[in-house]
């Protein structure tokens, strides 16, 4: 089996000031990684201090991940401080929950900018760097991208049109990254974490489980991130995982449920009603593209 150690590897974690990002950055550091932590100015300083207390190396690259300059700074910090980049953990996010009919342009744009654009900017910069390294050395780079999606994109959370749309985009970006960069040794996977953080305080409420570790603690998520960052996960690529409370669930890709073909040269409304409409006539009206089976996890 390949090593789960991160000794000698350089990892970046966005949104590392608190919650998931903090737990992920600390987990990577404990496994031996040198870590670049990102968050808004001043927000990641405490996490950096905790990493130093572990005896690990750390650098801070502050800024808004939705800005190109921040992605540039993160890359610059990793390369100037540690000389390389091996792992990107795109975690930073924000919510502005509201029903679709009440959502403002600004609320939609902000969430998509931070989540989807933020993932894209850093992933694009890292991909360009890894491609250059692979061309210069003639060898694969053995790098890992871990993106943060959400079950909101799987289930269509009614009050999160912006968030669900951004997370669906992140899942698609992950697949594109996985397929486009695998030839140079880069793998990309997405996690859908259930974690009690400041961003999800209204979703999960207080811990009343009585368990030694809160089932929704970010500490249940961080080990999976550290594993996916390690050489041991070299065969895992283009996957989506749900993770919380000591459980990891691998999501399957959508499948074709039924194919419909016209009997003529092209469809007519009447034929569509007979074939397509007829199929749905006796089908559960609640069954849709939503992956509601995740509710049973």
- Give the active site residues: 150, 163, 167
Q: How buried is residue 13: exposed, middle or buried, by Cβ count under 10 Å (0-12/13-18/19+)?
A: buried
Q: Give Dmax (Cα) for the chain.
A: 72
DSSP result, the chain: ------TT-EEEESSTTSHHHHHHHHHHHHTT-EEEE--STTTTHHHHHHHHHTT--EEE--S-TTSHHHHHHHHHHHHHHHS---EEEE-------B-GGG--HHHHHHHHIIIIIHHHHHHHHHHHHHHHHHHHHSS---EEEEEE--HHHHHT-TTBHHHHHHHHHHHHHHHHHHHHHGGGTEEEEEEEE----GGGHHHH-S--S--SS-TT-GGGTHHHHHHHHSGGGTT--S-EEEEETTEEEEPPPP--------SSSS--HHHHIIIIIHHHHTS-TT--SS-GGGGG-
Pairing outcome for strands 247-250 and 240-244: antiparallel
Measured distance CA(208)–CA(71) in Å, rounded: 39
Measured distance CA(262)–CA(268) in Å, rounded: 8
């Amino acid at each position: 089996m390949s090593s789960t150690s991160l000794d000698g590897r350089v990892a970046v974690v966005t949104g590392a000031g608190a919650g998931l990002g903090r737990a992920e950055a600390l987990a990577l550091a404990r496994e031996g990684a040198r870590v670049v932590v990102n968050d808004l100015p001043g927000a990641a300083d405490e996490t950096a201090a905790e990493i130093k207390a572990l005896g690990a190396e750390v650098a801070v690259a502050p800024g808004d991940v939705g800005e190109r300059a921040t992605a540039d700074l993160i890359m610059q910090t990793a390369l100037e401080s540690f000389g390389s980049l091996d792992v990107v953990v795109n975690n930073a996010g924000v919510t502005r929950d509201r029903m679709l009919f009440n959502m403002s342009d600004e609320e939609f744009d902000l969430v998509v900018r931070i989540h989807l654009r933020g993932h894209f900017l850093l992933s694009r910069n890292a991909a360009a760097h890894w491609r250059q390294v692979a061309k210069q050395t003639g060898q694969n780079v053995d790098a890992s991208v871990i993106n943060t999606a959400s079950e909101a994109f799987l289930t269509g959370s009614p009050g999160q049109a912006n968030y669900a749309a951004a997370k669906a985009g992140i899942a698609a970006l992950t697949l594109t990254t996985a397929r486009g960069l695998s030839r140079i040794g880069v793998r990309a996977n997405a996690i859908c974490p259930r974690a009690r953080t400041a961003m999800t305080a209204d979703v999960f409420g207080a811990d009343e489980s009585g368990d030694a570790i809160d089932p929704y603690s970010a500490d249940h998520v961080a080990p999976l991130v550290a594993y996916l960052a390690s050489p041991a996960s070299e065969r895992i690529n283009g996957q989506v995982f749900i993770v919380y409370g000591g459980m990891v669930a691998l999501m399957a890709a959508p499948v074709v449920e039924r194919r419909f073909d016209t009997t003529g040269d092209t469809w007519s409304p009447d034929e569509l009603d007979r074939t397509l409409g007829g199929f749905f006539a006796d089908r559960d009206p609640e069954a849709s593209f939503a992956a509601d089976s995740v509710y049973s996890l």
